[in-house]
Chains A and B, each alone.
Chain A
Amino acid sequence: MKKTVNQKAWFLVLPVLLLVGFSAVIPLMTVVNYSIQDTFGNNQFFPVGLEWFEEILHSERIHDALGRQVLFTSIIMAIEIPLGIYIALQMPKSGIWASVCLVLISLPLLIPWNVVGTIWQIFARTDIGLLGHTVAAMGIDYNYSQDILSAWITIIVMDVWHWTSLVVLLCYAGLQSIPSAYYQAAKIDQASRWNVFRYIELPKMMGVLLIAALLRFMDSFMIYTEPMVLTGGGPGNATTFLSIDLVKMAIGQFDLGPAAAFSLMYFLVILLVSWVFFTVMSNIDKEEG
């Protein structure tokens, strides 16, 4: 659609600008302010320059949290995206079963995040949970609150449970937009199942798949509530991801300066990666248009 140039359109955007300005800019200014100051209490602040940033950059604790975060995000993306595509390919195309599947697979997305944590906390307990009980009954040494490996596996399975449906839904929508003539043409050309996926389905899904990857990256990189409820970051610090660490630092220990510097860098990393995704996405759009 051709858009007309009209500066008055700013008036329509103004409410959003004021609202988001109020809820984003002011808090962000506070963060920036904290990040370059120190305090002895009593609301007396003095500037410390980039000291906090240096401290964070060299902090082993943050490095570890970042390492865990990257590992976690990589693992869940490596599982959820292929699995999501695969499940989307198994979805019924239309009819009552398609509706039933849609509703059922969307359900985990609508559960409050702390309840997701609670569900798995119960489900994976060896005394009262179905999963934990079954695994323990098979003679496997499993305890997510004490064993690091168990904790990681539980959190990853929980995230796969919680978020794979998002990838499925997006891919499904992409698949639905493929006209049946493409499948018919592939039959006529005697294309193999793999070729149909490779040359018809995957290219058509590319756009939505990028969105799925972007959303999964962003949300998993910010994950807080579910592991907080499930393991509380433990055992030890084994499942303390960036957000959990940040909240511990800011609210638990009230280390405002380092926490603020940490926040800013955290935010910037997400922005940077998202911006790369975004650019790639717009380029694909352009090629298609």
Chain B
Amino acid sequence: MNNAPVKKGFFSSKSPAIMLLYIIFLMLPIYWLLNMSLKTNQEILGTFSMFPNDITFDNYIVIFTDPDWYWGYINSMTYVVMNTLISLGVALPAAYAFSRYRFLGDKHLFFWLLTNRMAPPAVFALPFFQLYSSVGLFDTHIAVALAHTLFNVPLTVWILEGFMKGVPKEIDETAYVDGFSFFGFFTKIFTPMIASGIGVAAFFCFMFSWVELLLSRTLTAVDAKSIAATMTKTVSASGVDWGVLSAAGILTILPGAIVIYFVRHHIAKGLSLGRV
């Protein structure tokens, strides 16, 4: 293959100015949120300025000291992590089965799984509420985690299957010849080989569970109330505290911004469900 640096690709006809404009378009609203979060409410409502005149961290301090706020983050994190673990746990063996074997009804099953990704959360909100209430799981972390598996498990299976297809089957056969049991092979050899796939799948579980509002709000009330719900409930109260709301918003963006750096090269592959 020719690895020589290319003097002028067709990509040189692209314009950095347009890229810059697009990024400014993306960043401006986020910047504005950051700007608000560093102002006092008087400044927000009183003057209109591009920068906070008098930077204050009071809004953030409110969030870190008021249990109502910081428990929202803890609750969200808890069910997101639970969801990620459950989704990966059940999806790994299933994805392996889909990538390696043919069995009765495999294609139908695969399609049926995908249809769940297509289900509007609004359709499931009420039945979920009734289901989890009737089994006594309402307002628990596990309820939200389980509800989110409805979307995340199909996605995880699909992503992992894409990555597993890339591992040659001879690896499996060699391992069995070498005397590994299925379990030993799966945990010691196979799983490390698709580590990046697992990383990407985990990232997507994290992301979809983190951004979802409707189900998490429907299934929780007090004990497991998510940060998203905390934020919307604050909005509906009279006299919105814009500063605190902005600070809370900034704090919800941070986890995503941190994780995304680590998976930046795999995002597209994950988004395309392993098909790129």
B124 contacts the other chain (CB 8 A): yes
Is residue B81 within 8 Å, beta carbon to beta carbon, of the partner chain?
A: no
Flag whether A135 is at the interface (Cβ < 8 A): no
Q: Cβ of B253 < 8 Å from any Cβ of A?
A: yes
Closest to A10 in B: B103
Looking at the complex, which one of B18, B26, B91, B214 makes contact with A16 (CB distance below 8 Å)? B91
Find out whether the CB atom of B218 lies under 8 angstroms from the CB atom of A251. Answer: yes
Interface stretch (choices A44-52, A54-62, A145-153, A175-183) = A175-183
Q: Are A24 and B257 in contact (CB under 8 A)?
A: no
Minimum C-beta distance from B171 to chain A (A): 12
Contacts of A181 in B (CB 8 A): 2
Indicate the size class of the contact surface on chain B: 35 or more
Q: Which residue of A lies closest to B111 (CB)?
A: A278
Flag the segment in B58-66, B113-121, B190-198 that touches A.
Answer: B113-121
A234 at the interface (CB under 8 A from B): no
Known contacts A20-B149, A93-B11, A229-B232: does B276 contact A174 (CB below 8 Å)?
Answer: yes
Mask for B119-144, Cβ within 8 A of A = 1, else 0?
11111111110110000000000000
**Chain B min CB distance to A67 (Å):** 17
B 140-156 contacts with A by CB, 8 A: 146-147, 149-150, 153-154
CB distance from A251 to the nearest CB of B (A): 6
Known pairs A111-B252, A128-B48, A243-B122; A225 contacts B214 (CB<8 A): yes
Q: Is the CB of A250 within 8 A of B253?
A: no
Chain B contacts of A99 at CB under 8 A?
264
Q: Is A224 an interface residue, CB under 8 A from the partner?
A: yes
B272–A211 touching, CB < 8 Å: yes
Query: Once the chains are docked, how many angstroms separate the CA of A104 from the CA of B93?
Result: 34
Q: Is the CB of B14 within 8 A of A114?
A: no
Residues of B within 8 A of A242 (CB): 120, 122
Given contacts A12-B94, A31-B127, contact A180 B9 (CB under 8 A): yes
Give, as a whole number of angstroms, the nearest-CB distance from B175 to chain A. 15
A118 contacts B276, C-beta separation under 8 Å: no
Residues of B within 8 A of A211 (CB): 271-273, 275
Q: How large is the interface on A (under 10, 10 to 19, 20 to 34, 35 or more residues)?
A: 35 or more
Q: Are A6 and B101 in contact (CB under 8 A)?
A: yes
A15 to B232, CA, bound (A): 35
Asked whether A161 lies within 8 Å of B25 as measured between CB atoms, the reply is yes
CA of A193 to CA of B119 in the docked complex: distance in angstroms?
Answer: 41
Question: Within the assembled complex, what's the spacing in Å between the Cα atoms of A229 and B98?
Answer: 40
Least CB distance, A201 to chain B, in whole angstroms = 9
Q: Which chain A residue lies CB-closest to B113?
A: A20
Decide: A27 and B122 in contact? CB cutoff 8 A: no
Q: From residue 61 to 88 of chain B, which have CB atoms closer than 8 A to chain A?
A: 86
- Give Cα distance in the complex from A20 to B146, angstroms: 9
- Residues on B with C-beta less than 8 A from A107 are 26-27, 30, 253, 256-257, 260
In the complex, residue of chain B having the shortest beta-carbon distance to the beta carbon of A110: B256
A115, B228: Cβ atoms under 8 Å? yes
Q: Is A109's CB within 8 Å of the partner chain B?
A: yes
Could you tell me if B10 and A183 are in contact, using CB atoms closer than 8 angstroms? yes
- 1/0 contact trace for A90-111 toward B, CB 8 Å? 1111000001011111111111
Interface string of B19-36 (1 = CB under 8 A from A): 100110111111011001
Closest chain B residue to A175 by CB distance? B11
A68 at the interface (CB under 8 A from B): no
Instruction: Supply 11 further A-B pairs (C-beta < 8 A) apart from A101-B19, A113-B211, A115-B253.
Output: A7-B103, A23-B128, A31-B123, A91-B14, A107-B30, A110-B256, A111-B256, A130-B32, A263-B122, A264-B123, A267-B119
Chain A contact residues, CB within 8 Å of chain B? 1-10, 12-13, 15-17, 19-20, 22-24, 26-28, 30-31, 86-87, 89-93, 99, 101-115, 118-123, 127-131, 133, 161, 165-166, 169-170, 172-174, 176-177, 180-181, 183-184, 186-187, 193, 196, 207-208, 211, 215, 218, 221-222, 224-225, 229, 242-244, 246-247, 250-251, 256, 259, 263-264, 266-267, 270-271, 274, 278
Listed A/B pairs (5) with beta-carbon separation below 8 Å: A12-B97, A109-B256, A169-B267, A183-B9, A274-B118
